[in-house]
Amino acid sequence: MRNVLLNINALLIAGLILFTGCAKEEVTDVATNGLTRTEMDTQLDAFISDLETQAAVYAEENPRDFYGDQAKSPDFLRFNTLREALRVTGLDAAVLGGGITVFCPSDRAFGNIGLTPQNVAGTAGLADILLYHVVGANVFSGDLSNGYVPTLNGAAVNINLGAGGHVLELPQVNDA
């Protein structure tokens, strides 16, 4: 599984996306605050739309992070598989709550391990894959330093800020 996760080219948005802080066991039990499934879907769609807007702005300002031409790699800027994965695991309630940091995998990252919105529901261990991308605290890019950071699935990701150890470029997580 480590090799599969190392191959995920997770798109990190400057400022990182924030979610609800809780222990691994509590993430799947986050209350929906009385929202209906339709209301949760609407809010999740708005969240994903905002994420895609932020990704497009970042890509326009930093084309070198998209191999020089983001137009050739639109799946770097889309998060449809993430949306569906959050829905089917029930982790969308945590996303809508705010307060934890998530390294959001793009459609390209999911595609690298063979996942699409159409087949993600049948993926064994999907919640653990998602929780591997979650740090249980608010972490902003300026708070990052080189080294390992524990994730909510119990593993750790390796943060690499490059030469000098400051966030001058897009941080790397496990070489992605």
* Contact of 117 with 80, CB cutoff 8 Å: yes
- Long-range Cβ pairs for the range 20-24 (8 Å, 24+): 20/94, 20/95, 20/96, 20/97, 20/98, 20/99, 20/100, 21/99, 21/100, 21/136, 21/137, 21/138, 22/94, 22/100, 22/136, 23/136, 23/152, 24/131, 24/136, 24/152, 24/153, 24/154
Name which residue leads in pLDDT, 66 or 21.
Answer: 66
Question: Does pLDDT of 13 surpass 90?
Answer: no
Q: What is the DSSP code string of 133-152?
A: TEESS---GGG--SEEEE-T
Structure tokens at 120: 């993600």
pLDDT digits (tens, 9 = 90+) for 79-109: 999 999 999 998 888 877 777 788 888 898 8
**What's phi and psi for 168, nearest 5 deg?**
-110, -25
Task: Compute the Cα dihedral for 34, 25, 107, 149 and give only its sign.
Answer: positive
Q: Model-level pTM?
A: 0.73
pLDDT digits (tens, 9 = 90+) for 21-55: 344 444 444 456 677 888 889 999 999 999 899 88
